[in-house]
Amino acid sequence: MKNTLTNVILSIKPTYANAILSGLKKVEFRKKIFKKPVDKIFIYSSSPQKMIIGYFTFSEIMEDTPKNIWDKFNKVGGIGKKDFFEYFKGVEKGYSIIINSYEKFKIEIDPIEFIEEFSAPQSYIYLDDKSSLEIALTKLKKIK
């Protein structure tokens, strides 16, 4: 049986979502991580934007203590120390998603267009192949 990759939609605050898509934020920090192998991470820019604004791929996911994560990635994490440690408060381990490449969509995509009864993920949601394809097609249609 082949090991197939899936895609996810990751809910990210607009400040951090835009920092990823401008190349300033090179690592995304998470308290929980995917249980399935993932290919692309579509960026859902949370309230007030509430749109999928692009995606990124990653080279590695590292697990460590918040202190070690901060020590290693604070210069490329795109987040201040206070906010970082507030996010990881009460958590013994966290995850660093090392961003490999990213693409900002020319036109934002409303997830309601292709996911029935869409509600913003607390952290992430898996996309089936059909939804991933529909994002790509929607993106292409809007560019033309």
Looking at residue 119, its pLDDT comes to: 85
Phi, psi of 39 (to 5 degrees): -100, -70
Considering the entire predicted model, what is its pTM?
A: 0.88
Which is nearest to 9 in space by CA: 38, 48, 43, 37?
43
Read off the pLDDT of residues 43-79 as tens digits, 9 standing for 90 and up. 999 999 999 999 999 999 999 999 999 999 999 999 9
Query: Quick one: 25 exposed, middle or buried, by C-beta within 10 A (0-12, 13-18, 19+)?
Result: buried
Residue 54 bridge partners (DSSP): 43, 104
User: Cα–Cα distance between 10 and 126 in angstroms, integer?
Assistant: 9
β-pair type (38-45, 6-12): parallel
Residues of the chain with pLDDT under 50: 1, 143-144
Structure tokens at 143: 């560019």
